Amino acid sequence: MLQAILDEKVPLLARSPATDVIRQVNSDLDSAILLFKSVSNFSPKTYASRYRFAYGSAQALKADVKLWSAKVLGGGDADLNDAIAAISEVQSTGLSLNADFKNVTGLRAGSNPEVAIAAFYLRDETGANYGLNALPYKTGVQGALNLDSLPYAATTSNGQGAYQISTLSRGLFSAYPNDKRIPYTWVTERQSSGPKISWITKYPGTKYTDDRVSDNDIIMYRLADIYLMKAEAFAALSNTDSAIAYLNKVRGRAGNGDYTGATDKLTVEKEILDERGRELFFENKRWYDLVRFHKEGVIDVYTYVPNLVGKATPLFWPLNSTVLANNSKLEQTSGY
């Protein structure tokens, strides 16, 4: 649906093939990028807002789309090379890694040199912020020996205690116990009976005088993500030397040193997937990463994800029953 809806007469359209949708997305992105470039005295650093789309963040989105179409929709090498070219444009905008990982989500995007685009929250705008669901509430962690280290809220209005880091995600760090990202990713609650829940610390919110509130900027694209996307594209093209060079840019800040493992394509791709799991935990990237690497054959998502073991659940979401009821031309997603 490409026309604005101006009244109650909503056209009923059938679903378009995924390849057509991606083609339209790419066309829209190319148009947006051309509009940025048409600005008088354009440079990649012009209008580099971090709270609305700018030239660099549009290129970041294009790279993301190209990686998806390359691996999931069969776009192959051409799309991978397009992703690399888009990322080179992102790099030209002047982003730089924070020297200290704690500043990745600790600094507001407006003063954060790593962030390409983020959503801004004021204290009283956080009702639908998913970070709120990760904050424990005080009565739930009462008695913890390390209570002051836990990002708890005083009430369930500001901390739902619904999300914790999984055993599988913690396991990605097992080979790197001194990884500098760990304190800013999770902390394990310690009770007198021993270790209990590992709470997420990536979006800890702000501790005000009356309570902790989840008002962190929610990052959509940042430079470490961009570097790992470029590593992924190079690896898929069997250029593992270049892939490892970009992988190492992210590993270095974490204090894990350069990658020294096997350099065959499959091993390097799996390491990039694991590094994305460590670097980007709780940044809404993981499921899409798993689908891309599954489609390329790096993992089998039906054995990798515990909740999918022994199942044949489709990897794409179903249409809501209300949506189907309102449009008889729509067909349900295959498998549902």
What does 39-101 look like in DSSP terms, one character per residue? STT--TTTT--SSS--HHHHHHHHHHHHHHHHHTS--HHHHHHHHHHHHHHHHTTT----SST
What digits encode the pLDDT tens for the residues 205-228?
Answer: 999 999 999 999 999 999 999 999
- pLDDT, average across residues 281-293: 97
d(CA 254, CA 176): 9
| Residue type for position 303 | T
Exposed, middle or buried: residue 268 (CB in 10 Å: 0-12, 13-18, 19+)? buried
d(CA 17, CA 327): 17
- pLDDT, average across residues 29-54: 91
- pLDDT, average across residues 110-123: 93
Residue 126: pLDDT over 70: no
- pLDDT, average across residues 167-179: 96
Residue 9: pLDDT over 80: yes
The pLDDT of residue 127 is 67
Q: Which of 68, 47, 5, 26 is nearest to 288 (CA)?
A: 68
Work out the percent of the chain whose per-residue pLDDT is above 90: 93
The pLDDT of residue 125 is 79
The pLDDT of residue 49 is 83
Q: What is the pTM of this model?
A: 0.96
d(CA 233, CA 137): 41
Q: Quick one: which H or E segment has residue 187? A: strand 186-191
Q: Report the range of poorest mean pLDDT among 39-48, 78-87, 90-99, 223-232.
A: 39-48
Residue with tokens 């249409």: 319
Question: Class assignment of domain 18-104+220-299?
Answer: mainly alpha
| Residue type for position 309 | V
Residue with tokens 């493992």: 261
The pLDDT of residue 164 is 94
90 neighbors 63 (Cβ within 8 angstroms): yes
The pLDDT of residue 128 is 66
Give residue limits of the domains in the chain.
18-104+220-299, 121-216
Q: What's 153's DSSP letter? A: B
Work out the percent of the chain whose per-residue pLDDT is above 70: 99
Residue 68 dihedral angles phi and psi, to the nearest 5°: -65, -50
CA atoms within 13 A on the CB side of 293: 29
The pLDDT of residue 325 is 95
Q: Report the range of poorest mean pLDDT among 9-18, 39-48, 49-58, 182-191.
A: 39-48
Q: What's 280's DSSP letter? A: T
pLDDT category of residue 237 using cuts at 50, 70 and 90: very high
Average pLDDT of the residues of the chain: 95
The pLDDT of residue 297 is 97
Q: Quick one: which H or E segment has residue 312? A: none
